[in-house]
Structure 1
């Protein structure tokens, strides 16, 4: 059975808030609040996959210390811009 969109978005918002590294909690919570509702299903699926990545890797990608994998590069740019605003 497929997860209803409302439940999925709520789950992703909670996972964005409770990452383990406080900096990533703040960054991903801001991004999720600003963008999740308007995302297409393919973007939601990509964000869901991104949340399975390691926090240290995510932080380095968002801060530009390391290059993000190609599949995430556009989303990582958007996350970094959202947080900088």
Structure 2
């Protein structure tokens, strides 16, 4: 029996479940709410590329993300992506 090729539906479903779990278990309640609620609403529809981008966002420290979402610090150019803006729009946040 051959293993499933990468990014099959089964693989994507497992990645989506992990991403949702990680979004809700950040360590900082505010970030759990921001990323977890977004994940609940959007992760199921993400394609492999967008999911990869979301997974990379989940690797960023809470304190940095929180500053960007609250406008306490500028969003680095390489992180000011369509996905980051979509999360902001989802929550009605206007980042600086």
Tell me the number of residue pairs that the alignment of Structure 1 and Structure 2 aligns.
85
RCO higher in 1 or 2 (8 Å CA, sep ≥ 6)?
1
In terms of fraction of residues, the more helix-rich structure is 1
TM-score with structure 1 setting the length: 0.86
1:48-67 equivalent positions in 2, closer than 5 A: 48-67=55-74
* Bigger Rg over Cα: 2
| Structure 2 portions without partners, runs of 5+ | none
Q: CA RMSD in A?
A: 1.9
| Structure 1 portions without partners, runs of 5+ | none
TM-score with structure 2 setting the length: 0.77
